[in-house]
Structure 1
Amino acid sequence: MFHNHPKIEVSPSDLDKRAIKWGWGIIVLNFLVVLWFYFDLPDKIPLHFNIEGEVNGYGNKLELWILPALNLIVYYIIAVFTFKIKPYKMNFPTKVTEKSAPILYRMALTTMAWTGVITALLLFLVSIEVILRASQIDSFSLFYPINALVLLLLFGSFYIIYKMIKVPKS
Structure 2
Amino acid sequence: MKTGRPKINVPLEGLDIILDILSATLLILLIAYTALSYSELPDRIPSHFNARGEVDGYSEKSMLWLLPALGIVMFIGLYFINKFPHLHNYMVNITEENALKNYRFSTRIVRFANLFVMLIFGVIAYNIVESSKGNISNIDSWFLPLVIGSSIMLPIILLIYQNKINK
Q: Indicate the TM-score class for this superposition, using the shorter chain for normalisation.
A: 0.7 to 0.9
1:11-30 alpha-carbon deviations (Å, 9 max, x no partner): 33232122112111111111
Equivalent in the alignment of 2:59: 59
Pair 1:109-2:107 in alignment: yes
Letter in 2 for 1:123: F
SS at match of 1:166: helix
Equivalent in the alignment of 1:18: 18
Of 134, 142, 148, 2:139 maps to 142
Letter in 2 for 1:26: L
State the distance in 2 between where 1:151 and 1:12 align: 29
> Which runs of structure 2 are paired with 1:87-106 in the superposition (5 Å)?
87-106=85-104
Letter in 2 for 1:53: G
Larger deviation, residues 94-103 vs 159-168: 94-103
SS at match of 2:24: helix
State the distance in 2 between where 1:126 and 1:92 align: 32
Q: How many pairs does the alignment contain?
A: 166
Runs of 4+ in structure 1 over 6 Å off = none
Equivalent in the alignment of 2:5: 5
Superposed displacement of residue 114, structure 1: 1.3
Per the normalisation by structure 2, the TM-score is 0.87
Q: Identity rate of aligned residues, in percent? A: 24
> Which runs of structure 2 are paired with 1:5-84 in the superposition (5 Å)?
5-82=5-82, 84=83
State the distance in 2 between where 1:146 and 1:2 align: 41
SS at match of 1:59: strand
Change (3 A) 1:42 1:62: same
1:72-100 alpha-carbon deviations (Å, 9 max, x no partner): 11111111222x21x22221122334443
State the distance in 2 between where 1:154 and 1:17 align: 26
Larger deviation, residues 111-120 vs 92-101: 92-101
Q: Point out where structure 2 has 5 or more consecutive residues left out of the alignment.
A: none
1:45-83 alpha-carbon deviations (Å, 9 max, x no partner): 11011222221110011111111111111111111222x
Per the normalisation by structure 1, the TM-score is 0.85
Q: Point out where structure 1 has 5 or more consecutive residues left out of the alignment.
A: none
State the distance in 2 between where 1:112 and 1:150 align: 18
State the distance in 2 between where 1:106 and 1:151 align: 25
